[in-house]
Chain A
Amino acid sequence: DAMVIQNPRYQVTQFGKPVTLSCSQTLNHNVMYWYQQKSSQAPKLLFHYYDKDFNNEADTPDNFQSRRPNTSFCFLDIRSPGLGDAAMYLCATSPGQFTDTQYFGPGTRLTVL
């Protein structure tokens, strides 16, 4: 089945220690998104890629970076995680091209010690 996969599902890191989260998709969608979600809140968009074009949300901290080496994969790098970065990180994809529906992965729960 076509899907969005996130690894790892749970990640524990230490304060200030860089961490990378990964996302892959078999949907062949043009657009990939990274969201941060804190408990019982709506997801907050960090950035998205339309194909190789990177788009940063205005309020996304510089501590967060992203890479999309090819259509299928996208990475979220947190350069120096703080306690406030502990959250669920969600990857989503969309065909783009004026189709609004997004399909989410299962998420990575990040704990910062």
Chain B
Amino acid sequence: TQLLEQSPQFLSIQEGENLTVYCNSSSVFSSLQWYRQEPGEGPVLLVTVVTGGEVKKLKRLTFQFGDARKDSSLHITAAQPGDTGLYLCAGGRSSNTGKLIFGQGTTLQVKP
């Protein structure tokens, strides 16, 4: 069974702090997706990374795909209360059906 271990599961920080969320696996993925989900809403796609070593930036968010395509990280600089939510990583195997393996999720709370 493929597993995607996401850590930490919970994070509570003050506005302005930096943080990093990790997703690790022993399996190789063809792509890694990061989603953010706010309470009562569906997950919203933040980024897809597909190349080993790839780094993508989305304003204060930096996403990295490991060289071996087995792990990924999300770094947030100067967190704001609007960053609060559930962050999900999901790995893909480039299958015909597009099925994803999800990490357990990281609940982030940013206090003003």
Contact = CB atoms under 8 A, between A and B. Distances in A.
Of listed A31, A42, A96, residue having the most chain B CB within 10 A: A42
B42 A31 contact: no
A46 B56 CA distance: 31
A64 B99 CA distance: 19
Contacts of B43: 43, 90, 104
Contacts of B107: 40
A70 interface: no
Contact of B100 (A4, A41, A100, A109): A100
Given A31-B97, A42-B104, A42-B105, A100 B42 contact: no
A107 B100 contact: no
A100 B95 CA distance: 7
Interface size band for A:
20 to 34
Contacts of B86: 40
A99 B97 CA distance: 8
Given A31-B98, A101-B98, 20 more contacts: A4-B42, A6-B42, A42-B102, A42-B105, A43-B88, A55-B97, A94-B98, A98-B98, A100-B31, A100-B93, A100-B94, A100-B100, A101-B33, A101-B45, A101-B92, A102-B45, A102-B100, A104-B35, A104-B42, A107-B42
5 contacts: A42-B88, A96-B96, A98-B94, A101-B92, A106-B42
